[in-house]
Amino acid sequence: MTSHRIHEDAGLQPERTTLAWGRTMMALAGASTIFLRWLPHHGLPVLALLSISVTAAAVIYFTQRRRYSTSSHGITRQKVNADIAAVLWTALAGSVLGIFGIAIVLAS
């Protein structure tokens, strides 16, 4: 049984990238569980943190296939473009989570 790969990259760059995004998604899901633990102590504002982290994790999950396909086809064309938008919105989500998290803890 042989598997058909879209690309012939011996370094498996698309797979490594997919794993990295998967770890980011799991970190956001883990942070969501921590926010649930904050709910009794810090109140309803924590729901904003929960919604941001769950939404960011869901977006990563639902865009994984497209991201992998784009990267794999880019290798076969020998031109891979960085997904700058995904990196920027993930950085923005992380920054907003940090700022809101600090604000909620200091306000309590």
pLDDT category of residue 2 using cuts at 50, 70 and 90: very low
What are all long-range contacts of 62-66, with beta carbons under 8 Å and residues at least 24 apart?
A: 64/18, 64/21, 64/22
Q: 46 with 18: CB under 8 angstroms?
A: no
pLDDT of residue 67: 83
Q: What is the pTM of this model?
A: 0.77
Alpha-helix residue ranges (DSSP H) falling in the chain: 13-42, 46-77, 84-107
What are the structural domain ranges in the chain?
13-107
Q: Quote the mean pLDDT of the chain.
A: 86
